Structure 1
Amino acid sequence: MANFLTVGNIVNTQGLKGELRVMSQTDFPEERFKVGAKLFIETKTEKIPVTIKTHRLHKNFQLVSFVDYPSINDVEKYKGTRLVVDASELSDDDLAEDEFYYHEIIGLEVIDENGQNLGKVSEILETGANDVWTVKKPGRKDWYLPYIDQVVKEIDLDHGVVKIEMMEGLIDED
């Protein structure tokens, strides 16, 4: 059975010519949404193969249309669904040293220099200057970890941990 990874959420339509607004959830939007890219629309019951016909960036959205879906009437039913890619399409050759796919980071345990567990990475936010990881720990308020060299010291995928150096004010103790 194939393993699929989310690359975006279809949040709305755009215009009348079959364009969709997609909130990107991928490390490589320029690659995943390029013209000719093969994706799947994941509904509750099926995965529908689609090919990107057009792509452009508008505000915080990727605007895409699909081959053989020329009208708003063809795509409106897909609002609220996800765009996914077959995990076998991913290649480590796409990554530079010390780069990771989002799905490799989400779920990792965050520990400080003393080995204290600070929670798990639950989401990655793209802020422009650097990514920011949302960290959840049961019974505590979510906190945000900037993905910068001064804070993130080691990512150990084999052991499922991110080792950080704690900075003052990083976690709100309230």
Structure 2
Amino acid sequence: MSSNQQPIVLGKLGSSHGIKGWLKITAYTDSVEGIFDYSPWLINDQGQWREVKVNQWRPQGKAVIAELEGVTTREQAQILTNCEIAIMPEQMKELADDEFYHRDLIGCEVTNNNGYNMGFVDQIVETGSNDVLLVKANAKDAFGKAERMIPFVPEQFILKVDLQGKQILVDWDPDF
């Protein structure tokens, strides 16, 4: 694993299920089953990332469970409970030109359509209706803001996203 590439966390291993080493899976992907589109997984086992393969998986009630290669007993599974599941960035699916991952927006500079530099995207907050950019304002913000929350609504508030230039153009009042 390259030192400049950090794994992308997609979920975590839950409690053991049964006596044959199966584990419940908590997925952060759009659909719970989507986590199984990626292989191999990396798991963070006691602070060290190591590769694991999923032998098989299945729905179990409202959850999903999986059998990992080399994990054949309940005791082995219990040791892995709460380990993060991740993949390397190059394993991420290719997106259409007008789509991007949340992680791609972090660190982008945000400027409004009047040229005012509003700061940079610190994080994305998921709400029920739409995502919201949490923008950390510049240290000497003219409006005295520490941060701004800008709804991620393309064509209404988000005018342009330039991932190559790490720029986002917004229609947003800097005093709001």
The normalised TM-score by structure 2 is 0.67
Determine helix, strand or coil for the equivalent of 1:34: helix
How far off its partner does 1:165 sit?
A: 0.7
One-letter amino acid matched to 1:19: L
d(CA) in 2 for partners of 1:83, 1:104 = 20
| Regions of 4+ moved over 6 Å | none
Secondary structure at 1:111's aligned position in 2? strand
Hey, what does 2:109 align to over in structure 1?
A: 109
1:18 equivalent among 18, 22, 29: 22
Is 1:161 paired with 2:176? no
Match of 1:124 in 2: 124
Secondary structure of the structure 2 residue equivalent to 1:149? coil
Structure 1: 5+ residue runs without aligned partners? none
TM-score normalised according to structure 1 size: 0.68
Q: How does 1:6-155 map to 2 (within 5 A)?
A: 6-10=8-12, 12-13=14-15, 15-16=17-18, 18-24=22-28, 31=34, 33-34=35-36, 37-43=39-45, 45-52=47-54, 53-54=56-57, 63-68=64-69, 69-70=71-72, 73-90=75-92, 94-127=94-127, 129-137=129-137, 140-141=146-147, 143-155=149-161
Q: CA contact under 8 A between 1:10 and 1:78: conserved in structure 2?
A: no
Percent identity reads 22
Q: CA-atom RMSD, angstroms?
A: 3.6
- List gaps (5 residues or longer) in structure 2: 140-144
Alignment size in residue pairs = 164
